[in-house]
C-alpha cells in the first residue's frame, strides 16, 4: 500500500510538472513580438528573419545588398529548416551603428522535442552586417551569404 501511494504521488507530481511546462510554453509563445522603429538596422534584421521564416524569400532578398549574390544562390544559402519554424525565438543582443555601417547581433534559439518529456533548446548567435544606401539599410552579411 505504501509503495502504491509513492508511485501515485510520483505520477501526480510528474503530471503537474508537465502541465506547468505546457502553461509556461503557451504563455511564452503569446508574448507580443518586439518591434523596432521603422528604418532602423534592428527593424530590417527583424523583418528579414520574419520574411525568411514565412517563406517569403523574394521579399527577404530585397533587403540584401551582397555583390554577386544571385537570387538562386540566396535560396541555396537559406537553410530550409530556418523557414516555417514555429518553435524559434529570436532575441536582440545588441546593435552598433557607425556612420553608414551597422551590426545587429541576435541569438536564435530553436526548441526541439522528440516527446513531451524530452525538450532541448539550441541557441545560435548571428551577427548581421548592414550598410545604408540611399537612406535605406540593407543587409550585407552574415558571412555564410558571402561568395
Domain range list for the chain: 1-31, 38-145
* Whole-number pLDDT of residue 81: 52
Pick the CATH number of 38-145 from 3.30.43.10, 3.10.450.50, 3.40.718.10, 3.30.9.10: 3.10.450.50
Residue-level pLDDT at 78: 78
Mean pLDDT by runs of 10 across the 147 residues of the chain is 56 47 46 76 93 89 89 80 63 95 91 70 89 95 64
Q: Give the pLDDT score at 138.
A: 96
pLDDT number for residue 110: 79
Task: Give bridge partners of residue 125 from the DSSP assignment.
Answer: 107
Lookup: cell for 111: 526548441
At residue 23, the pLDDT reads 43
| Torsion angle (degrees, nearest 10) of CA 70, 108, 33, 77 | 10
Amino acid at each position: 500500500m505504501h509503495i502504491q501511494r509513492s508511485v501515485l504521488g510520483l505520477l501526480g507530481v510528474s503530471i503537474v510538472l508537465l502541465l506547468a511546462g505546457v502553461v509556461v510554453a503557451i504563455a511564452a509563445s503569446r508574448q507580443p513580438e518586439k518591434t523596432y522603429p521603422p528604418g532602423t538596422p534592428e527593424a530590417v534584421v527583424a523583418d528579414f528573419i520574419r520574411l525568411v521564416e514565412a517563406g517569403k524569400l523574394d521579399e527577404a532578398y530585397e533587403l540584401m545588398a551582397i555583390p554577386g549574390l544571385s537570387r538562386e544562390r540566396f535560396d541555396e544559402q537559406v537553410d530550409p529548416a530556418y523557414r516555417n519554424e514555429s518553435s524559434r525565438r529570436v532575441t536582440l543582443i545588441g546593435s552598433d551603428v557607425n556612420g553608414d555601417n551597422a551590426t545587429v547581433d541576435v541569438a536564435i534559439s530553436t526548441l526541439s522535442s522528440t516527446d513531451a518529456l524530452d525538450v532541448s533548446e539550441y541557441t545560435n548567435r548571428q551577427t548581421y552586417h548592414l550598410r545604408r544606401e540611399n537612406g535605406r539599410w540593407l543587409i550585407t552579411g552574415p558571412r555564410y551569404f558571402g561568395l
